[in-house]
Homo-oligomer: A and B are copies of this chain.
Amino acid sequence: MAYDVNNVFAKILRGEMPAERVYEDDHVLAIKDIHPKAPTHVLVLPKGPYTSLMDFSIRATVEEMGYFFQTITKIAERLGLNDKGFRLVSNIGADAGQIVPHFHVHLLGGKQLGSMAGDSDS
| Chain A residues engaging chain B, CB cutoff 8 angstroms | 35, 37-38, 41, 53-54, 57-58, 61-67, 69-70, 72-74, 76-77, 81-98, 106, 108-119, 122
Contacts and interface: CB of A to CB of B under 8 A. Distances in A.
A60 to B, nearest CB: 8
Contacts of A73: 53-54, 57-58
A116 B58 CA distance: 25
Copies of this subunit: 2
Contacts of A61: 66
Given A69-B65, A70-B62, A117-B38, A111 B95 contact: yes
Given A67-B62, A69-B57, A69-B69, A89 B86 contact: no
